[in-house]
Amino acid sequence: MSIKKLSLGDRAFYIFDYFIIALVICATLYPFIYIFSASVSDGGPLGRGEVWLLPKGFNLNAYKTVMKDNTIWQSYYNTIWYVVVGTTINIFMTTITAYPLSRRKFSARNTIMMFIAFTMFFGGGLVPTYLLIRDLHLLNTRWAIVLPAAISTWNLIIMRSFFEGIPESLHEAATIDGCSELKILVKIFLPLSIPVMAVMVLFYAVGHWNSYFSALMYINDQDKYPLQIYLRKILIQYEQNDILQDVNQGRDVVAQSVRYAIIIVSTVPILMIYPFLQKYFVKGVMIGAIKG
C-alpha cells in the first residue's frame, strides 16, 4: 500500500499507530535493558542514580559474586530437574489421554470429556489439595511438584484438537492393516504431531521453569528448592543470605547490582531460546483458540 493513495486522516492514523507500537516496544524492553545495564555498571554511578539506560562504567563483579554462590546453582539444578522430569511426565500423560479422546468413534468420548472439562470450572481449592498431597506422603518430595501438575486440561484440549485434525482415513487404513491403537498412536500420529508436541514441550517446560507456588506449599528442604523460591528470597524478601552478606558491608548499591545480575542469570535461558521458538508458541495459542 503506498502512502500517496491514503487520505490525510488515514495517514495520520498510520503515523499514530506506528508511534504507539514503538512506545509499546520501548515500555516492554526498558526494564530488561535497565537491569542489564545496572548489573554491569560500576557501583559509584549506580549508587548516585546515574544509570538510566546504558551502563556507566563496566565491571562484572556482581556476576562473579553470583558465580561463587552455591545456593543459586543448587536451585538451578533443581529447576532443571523439575523441568525435565515434569515435562516428560506431562507429555506422556497428555498424549495417552488426548489420543483416545480424539477418536470420534470412541463411545465414552463425550462423557469423559465432560468429566475432564468440569475440573476447569470447579475444583477443591488450596486446602484440600494440600491435605491430599500430605495424605499421599508426597510432602517435601520432588514428586509433589511434578505429579499434581501432570496434566494441564487446557493443553490436553489443544493436543486433542490437533489429533482430531489428522485425517480419519489414515486411522482406517492402519486398522485394516491390523495395527493396534497403540501402534497407530506411536507410528502414525506421533510423527505427524511434531508441531503440537513442540508447543506442548514449550508450554509445559516454561510452566515448570516459572512455577514457585507448589514449591512454596509443599517443599521445606532448601536443597529441593527451585530457582524461583531462591529468587523470591533474594529479590523480594531481601533475605540477607551469604551471597549478599559478603558484599553487603554497608554498601546497599553492590547488593543491588548483585540482585540485578541474578535476574539476568535466571532469565537469560528463557529469553535466549524464546525468539527461535516463537512461531511454535503462537501456533499453540491458535490451535487452542480455534477450539476454545
Partner 1 sequence: MELIILQVSTSKGSNSIKKNKIGFFQRNFEVLYKEKALWLLLLPGIIWYLIFAYGPMYGLIISFKDFSPFKGIVKSPWVGFMWFEQFFKSQFFWRLIKNTLLLNIYNIIFGFPIPIILAFMLNEVQHNWYKRIAQTISYLPHFVSTVIVIGMLVNFVSPTGIINSMIKSLGGETVHFMVKPQWFRPLYIITGIWQSAGWSSIIYIAALSGIDPQLYEAAIVDGANKIKQIWYVSLPGIMPTILIMLILALGSILSIGYEKIILMYNTATYETADVINTYVYRRGVVGGEYSFGTAVGLFQSIINFIFIVIANKISRKVSEVSLW
Only segment of 61-69, 94-102, 191-199, 243-251 that touches partner 1 (CB under 8 A): 94-102
Of 59, 106, 152, 246, the one binding partner 1 by CB under 8 A: 106
Site for partner 1 in 223-242 (CB under 8 A): 228, 231-232, 234-236
Residue 77 interacts with partner 1 (CB under 8 A)?
no
CA 161 to chain centre: 22
Of 55, 73, 212, 246, the one binding partner 1 by CB under 8 A: 212
Which amino acid makes up residue 171? H
Of 54, 60, 222, 292, the one binding partner 1 by CB under 8 A: 292
Q: How far is the CB of 137 from partner 1 (least distance, A)?
A: 13
Site for partner 1 in 253-272 (CB under 8 A): 253, 256, 259-260, 263, 266-267, 270-271
Of 15, 44, 67, 115, the one binding partner 1 by CB under 8 A: 115
Closest CA to 189 of 202, 180, 199: 180
Only segment of 60-68, 70-78, 181-189, 240-248 that touches partner 1 (CB under 8 A): 181-189
Of 4, 70, 104, 122, the one binding partner 1 by CB under 8 A: 122
For partner 1, the closer CB: 2 or 70: 2
Task: List Cβ neighbours of 148 (8 Å cut-off, separation of 6 or more).
Answer: 129, 133, 214
Q: How far is the CB of 178 from partner 1 (least distance, A)?
A: 11
d(CA 41, CA 34): 10
**H-helix or E-strand spanning residue 120:** helix 109-121
Residue 285 interacts with partner 1 (CB under 8 A)?
yes
CA 218 to chain centre: 20
Which amino acid makes up residue 6? L
Residue 31 interacts with partner 1 (CB under 8 A)?
yes
d(CA 163, CA 196): 9
Closest CA to 98 of 23, 31, 189, 212: 189
Of 216, 240, 242, 291, the one binding partner 1 by CB under 8 A: 216
For partner 1, the closer CB: 164 or 181: 181
Residue 222 interacts with partner 1 (CB under 8 A)?
no
Phi, psi torsion values for 281, nearest 5 degrees:
-55, -50
Closest CA to 185 of 110, 291, 103: 103
For partner 1, the closer CB: 58 or 276: 276
Contact 249, 54 (CB under 8 A): no
Q: How far is the CB of 263 from partner 1 (least distance, A)?
A: 6
Q: How far is the CB of 270 from partner 1 (least distance, A)?
A: 5
Contact 80, 202 (CB under 8 A): no
Contact 260, 244 (CB under 8 A): no
